[in-house]
Structure formats: C-alpha cells, structure tokens
C-alpha cells in the first residue's frame, strides 16, 4: 500500500496559520492502514492545533480521497471552510485540489513509498513503481526498491552480516535475493546478466498513465 508519514506538527501549524476556518479531512484507505492519516490522526492533529490556535477546526473523513464519488460528500463542508488540510497521500491532496480549485488544499502528510506493515507500526519500502517488474529474475526481492544502490547484478560488497552499509536495520537486498534463489534452487539465475534498463517506464520518462479505456468504449 501507499505509505505516508505525518509532517511534524509545527510545519503543519505554520502552513495553516493564516486560516480561521480549517476543514481537516482524513482518508480511510492506505494512510489509515499505514497509521498516518486516518480519522484518529485527523482528530489528533485538530486537537494539537487547538492548543496553539484559536481557529475553528472541523474534522471529517472519507473512504478514499482519490475517488470523485467519495469526495462529493465533502462539497458542502469545503465551501464553508477557508482552507482544507488533507491527511491523504499526495494523490488525494491533488485530487481534492482539482475538485476544489478555489480553495487552498494543504498536505498534512509526506507520502513516502509503497510498502508493507512488517509489524505494528513498522513499515518498510518494497516497491518504487519502476514500471518494469523483474521480480521473477530475483526470487521475488526487488533490487530497485530494496537495494540502496539499485544494483541489478549482485551486491556492492559493502554489506555486513546481511545488512546494508547505510544502516544495520536495512537488509542487503542481494543477500535476500541470494538466499531466496538458493531455496528455489535457481542460483543459476545469478549468472544471467540483467542488462542496463530503459528507465522511461519509471518516473524518468515523465508522468505515466495506464490506459484501460477499452472497459468503456466511447459511443459515437
């Protein structure tokens, strides 16, 4: 899922300082699961801001801020506010901003990565959305997202005890790949060289899209 982290409270307080009526909107999907932007956090932010500001804070939430049908319910509340503080990921914030172009829509979160809940409250990065998945070649461990240097053909040699040289909390991805391929009896795959890739499928090619408009063809 998309993982985000709430911005430091002072940063949020500074960005909303000039507004007298603020609508704080939580999002019930990814950021709830990643414990940063659900209704609970929305109320927490409102309560914290109330300690240092006399502005009016209204709190609400929607299932997802990336679906227009869910946002419809907010129209009235938004119209009454001076600004909107969105606790959604970057997608939700932008989508809200598109829907309400005359209202400032401010982010309360820093969207970080696509990842997984390892344990309660501990989330780690798993996927970077490079657009060209090679997990089949690497035993199901992603060298793009989980190797600090995104090496495609083996470790850099800086790891110690299976941990990356940047931090002993980060696993060396190539260690994981090796162990996994060993268990799958596919160590010979390590001999296959993965060539330099065309990164246009990733962010480097500009904003991307997925076209499945075949689902609803245009009627002449």
Q: Which is nearer to another protein, 48 or 55 (CB)?
A: 48
Residues near 142 by beta carbon (within 8 Å), at least 6 away in sequence: 126, 127, 128, 134, 135, 173
111 binds another protein (CB under 8 A): no
Question: What is the rounded CA–CA span in Å between residue 148 and residue 165?
Answer: 9
Residues in region 31-90 near another protein by CB under 8 A: 32-33, 35, 38-41, 43-44, 47-48, 50-52, 61
114 binds another protein (CB under 8 A): no
Question: What is the rounded CA–CA span in Å between residue 141 and residue 22?
Answer: 43
Shortest CB 116 distance to another protein, Å: 12
Q: Which is nearer to another protein, 40 or 79 (CB)?
A: 40
Do the Cβ atoms of 194 and 137 come closer than 8 Å? yes
194 binds another protein (CB under 8 A): no
- Ranges of beta strands (E only) in the chain are 2-6, 21-27, 56-62, 83-86, 105-107, 109-119, 122-127
Number of residues that bind another protein (CB under 8 A): 24
Residues lying near another protein in the complex (CB under 8 A) are found at 8-10, 13, 28-29, 32-33, 35, 38-41, 43-44, 47-48, 50-52, 61, 117, 119-120
């Amino acid at each position: 899922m998309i993982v985000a982290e709430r911005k430091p409270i002072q940063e949020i307080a500074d960005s909303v300082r000039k507004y007298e009526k603020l609508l704080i909107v939580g999002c019930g999907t990814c950021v709830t699961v990643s414990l940063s932007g659900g209704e609970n956090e929305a109320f927490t932010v409102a309560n914290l801001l109330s300690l240092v500001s006399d502005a009016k804070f209204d709190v609400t939430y929607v299932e997802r801020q990336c679906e227009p049908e869910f946002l419809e319910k907010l129209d009235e509340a938004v119209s009454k506010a001076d600004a909107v503080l969105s606790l959604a990921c970057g997608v939700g914030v932008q989508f809200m901003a598109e829907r309400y172009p005359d209202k400032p829509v401010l982010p309360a979160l820093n969207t970080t990565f696509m990842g997984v809940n390892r344990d309660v409250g501990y989330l780690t990065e798993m996927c970077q959305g490079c657009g060209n998945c090679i997990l089949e070649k690497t035993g199901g461990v992603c060298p793009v997202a989980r190797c600090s240097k995104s090496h495609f053909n083996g470790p850099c040699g800086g790891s110690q005890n299976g941990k990356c040289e940047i931090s002993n909390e980060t696993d060396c991805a190539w260690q994981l790949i090796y162990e996994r391929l060993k268990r799958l009896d596919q160590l010979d795959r390590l001999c296959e060289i993965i060539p330099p890739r065309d990164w246009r499928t990733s962010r480097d090619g500009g904003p991307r899209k997925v076209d499945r408009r075949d689902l609803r063809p245009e009627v002449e």
